[in-house]
Structure 1
Amino acid sequence: MIGPMSNQGRPRFAFYGDDFTGSVDALLQFRRAGLSGLLLTSPDALAAATSERCGAVPDVIGLAGLARSLPTAELPDEVRPALRVLRDTGAAVVQYKACSTGDSSPTVGSLGRVLEIAREEFGELPIPVALAQPDFGRYTFFGHHFAADGDQVFRLDRQPTMRDHPITPATESDLRLQLAAQTRLPIGALPWTSYGDAGTVAATLRGDLPDGSDRGRPAAVIVDAFVDDHLDQVATAVLDGAAIDRSGQARFVLGSGGISGALGRAYRPADPLPELPTDCPPARRPMLVLSGSTSRRTREQIARSKWTVVDLFDPGVAERTATELTAGRDVIVSSTTDTDLSSAAADAVTDSDIPGALATVGERVLRSGDLAPDRMIICGGDTAGNVLRRLGVDAISILAQPWGNAVLCRATSRHQHLDGLELVLKGGQMGHPDLFTDVRSGNPQN
């Protein structure tokens, strides 16, 4: 179960992640900077954990959410309570962790609507919007965003995955124009040519104009970054007293794991945690993969594993999965297979039911006592969060980083059969081709 934490202290940073795999990435970036952290699965879990008087408050508290996949009309009910409970932790900086490809549209997961909500909750200082994450192949140059696909870097609206995204296809690389289609708030920019002058960076993030007025002050500022040093300068300005509201209000930022890492580096904890291990022991029992991902990378990983693949829409999916695991075989339960079962049976299961169907299989298998898997992979940024919440996982923490941004985590739960379960949460495009077999064996990425 979640250990109670003291309210005599407070976290330095708090963040809401708009999907679960992205939330894990933010937690990882803070951890790489030496900060302790805990990622919770709901506002209720966070409020309960921070209301007790025993234990230590981590440097970072994260809240994994689902906003990226929600219709824009539903965002206030998801985002506002989350931001309020994070603000009330007393953190100096609260981040809305968005995907580094800026996945959003006027109708789904609107980042423009998020900015409007944040202005109402955190005041009117300009909100830095930092989507770049150079170590993940995400760059912003004069307001235009770029994303790698394999060994090539594309302008966002030409990047194959984002151009053809089934829900939020990228049609514009200029982030100012993308956000302008989602909100009427004025959007400004901080070009990379301003870096090197700390005063200019800080003034821009305060919204100061040369004449000292607030005329035309932007509500949000797109910040350029194509190397970590750019993000570090932004983070330093955010943490600097001159760039933080003097009322003591938490400073709000919107961005990817790139700005998470930069904030951690700028903070420089006095007693940083040691580096994460880059290896781990093998799984003790056969592996279970629950996949709601449709990405080409996930399909490649499934094919490379040569494990038993069970169609999620097979009426006997839970029983067959349990039988295969009991026989010592690693099993992948997938909502996207090359068999005829999916096309025949999927009519009865909508996309929104897929996480529930996967969680039902997971619940059946994980309650099988000594034969239950001790390590599990969940594929799909939106899928992972829904599955974990439905299973009853309360929080996760990072154990090791053997496979890049696909990290090994430990589940915390009030349910005994889930507490201590090892997890890898994998977004669609995450991980190298042999990720599944390496997670099974504990081998680090080659």
Structure 2
Amino acid sequence: MLLGVIADDFTGASDIANTLAKGLAGQGGLAVTQYLGIPTSPAAPDVEAAVISLKTRSAPVEAAVVQSLAALEWLQAQGCVQFVFKYCSTFDSTPEGNIGPVSEALANALGVKGVIACPAFPTVGRTVHQGHLFVHDQLLSESSMRHHPLTPMTDSDIRRWLTHQTRDLVGLVPVATVRAGSAEVRAALDAAAAEGRTMVICDAAIDQDLITLGAAAAGVPFLTGGSGIAIGLPANFIRSGLARGARTSFEGVAGPEAILAGSCSAATRHQIATHANDHPVMALDVDAIMAGTLGVREIVEFVASHRGQAPLVYSSDDPMEVEALQSRYGRESLALTLDGLFADTARALVDSGVTRLVVAGGETSGAVAQALDLEALSIGPEIDPGVPILAEPTRAIALALKSGNFGAPDFFRKALRLLEGGVSL
């Protein structure tokens, strides 16, 4: 194994697995397997890159660090020569963590400083300029992310945000240095390391910037970022002759389908509204769920009664209503209850014969993936930027785990069609 990725949520893991499997146009990518949790046995010998999906984005800081170091230990045992800590392209975190503490712990374990930190993903409008993170044409702090129910992002200066979370000073490689080329980037990172800076924010506004950062990272043990930071990494291994530049094929999975949406992002709410125009949808009554009068049985019955019609079940709502519900029931209690309901529902749906499952939302996807006890997933074609098909070959299950902010308005319909191998519903 060449490359090991530690991802702080399940949708982000799929995102970077997709990036590594695609590679650069005309060159191919790596043979990637996504693991849901830390594996308990060695990887298959043909795996070139492993992506370990953790559910640590909103976990207590200490737990996130412990799990991430355990993932690093397994990847080291597989022979990896380079490691990536993957977090969200909107830098989802609080002033206490978890991005900074996990990044520093991994860097310290590997004995490195001057580590790239770049959440940029230009394809979906996430760019970094002079250390400030933008979502399309808005500063992060002015985007819908300021209303995130778990990690509201109220500061666009991610160098300052990361400084709150780390012990060491945080550096910056500005856009002028990035545009000067990979050698200049590498020199800037080395200088930051000499100054004792562990983490270094790197500007990136276009894919070529990320390719430059990837070239600068050739041979370094550790880097961090969103999925975009991996764009140029496969080419390093292919050029050196260590990787063959292949991509896993996907033949499609037929059978019953369901969509579960727990994200409250603006993109997911738009996708739900689009899907509701010509497909059956079930809006979950949160008060009834918290009262115990609505549960798995009713949801499974709804899905079963609309088999073949792409049924969608969702708990998504606008920020004001989410805030009111959190005040009524408590943020953690509400999140745990809804994640638990989606997890139990997914397990019941698969037990009832559902073979194609689309899930929206990082926390929801993590809960569902853990409930289904999936271990190793192969990476299929990309549905929309950042969202690939995931296949569990031994159980004939195909999934799409979507970050709340990703996907086109017709994502749900398109995802189910591609999970089946391109056959229209």
Q: Is 1:177 aligned to residue 187 of structure 2?
A: no
Name the residue aligned to 1:6. Answer: none
With over 3 angstroms needed to count, the CA separation of the structure-2 counterparts of 1:272 and 1:337, relative to structure 1, is same
Say which one has the larger Rg: 1
Report if the CA contact (8 A) 2:283-2:314 is conserved: yes
With over 3 angstroms needed to count, the CA separation of the structure-2 counterparts of 1:367 and 1:187, relative to structure 1, is same
Unaligned residue ranges in structure 2 (runs of 5+): 24-28
Match of 2:284 among 304, 311, 326: 311
Question: Within 1, Cα distance between the matches of 2:6 and 2:176?
Answer: 30
Name the residue aligned to 1:61. Answer: 50
Report if the CA contact (8 A) 1:232-1:266 is conserved: no
Name the residue aligned to 1:247. Answer: none
Greater CA drift, 14-23 or 181-190: 181-190
Name segments (4+ residues, structure 1) moved above 4 Å: 274-277, 346-349
Match of 1:253 among 219, 223, 226: 223
Superposed displacement of residue 359, structure 1: 1.8
1:311-368 CA-partner distances (Å, limit 9, x unpaired)? 2727454333333444343432323479x9x97xx95963113222212122222212
Match of 1:320 among 298, 301, 323: 298
1:411-434 CA-partner distances (Å, limit 9, x unpaired)? 256xxxxx2211011111111122
Name the residue aligned to 2:41. Answer: 48
Match of 1:95 among 75, 84, 87: 84
Question: Within 2, Cα distance between the matches of 1:276 and 1:175?
Answer: 38
Percent identity of equivalent pairs: 26
Query: What does residue range 422-441 of structure 1 map to in structure 2 within 5 Å?
Result: 422-441=398-417
Name the residue aligned to 2:95. Answer: 106
AA at the equivalent of 2:298: R
Query: What does residue range 24-35 of structure 1 map to in structure 2 within 5 Å?
Result: 24-33=14-23, 34-35=29-30
1:262-293 CA-partner distances (Å, limit 9, x unpaired)? 2123333653225978xx76x74442122221
Name the residue aligned to 2:213. Answer: 234
Superposed displacement of residue 197, structure 1: 4.6
In terms of fraction of residues, the more helix-rich structure is 2
1:53-96 CA-partner distances (Å, limit 9, x unpaired)? xx533111010011211132432222221222223322121000
Question: Within 2, Cα distance between the matches of 1:140 and 1:178?
Answer: 14
User: What is the aligned-residue RMSD (CA, Å)?
Assistant: 2.8
Name the residue aligned to 2:26. Answer: none
With over 3 angstroms needed to count, the CA separation of the structure-2 counterparts of 1:137 and 1:266, relative to structure 1, is farther
Greater CA drift, 67-76 or 91-100: 67-76
Unaligned residue ranges in structure 1 (runs of 5+): 1-10, 245-250, 414-418
Scaled by the length of structure 2, the TM-score of the pair is 0.84
Match of 2:313 among 328, 333, 353: 333
Report if the CA contact (8 A) 1:140-1:223 is conserved: yes
Query: The residue matched to 1:299 in structure 2 has which SS?
Result: helix
Q: Is 1:287 aligned to residue 282 of structure 2?
A: no
Q: Is 1:365 aligned to residue 337 of structure 2?
A: no
Q: How many residues align?
A: 394
Name the residue aligned to 2:233. Answer: 263
Q: Is 1:36 aligned to residue 31 of structure 2?
A: yes
Match of 1:222 among 193, 201, 221: 201
Query: The residue matched to 2:41 in structure 1 has which SS?
Result: helix
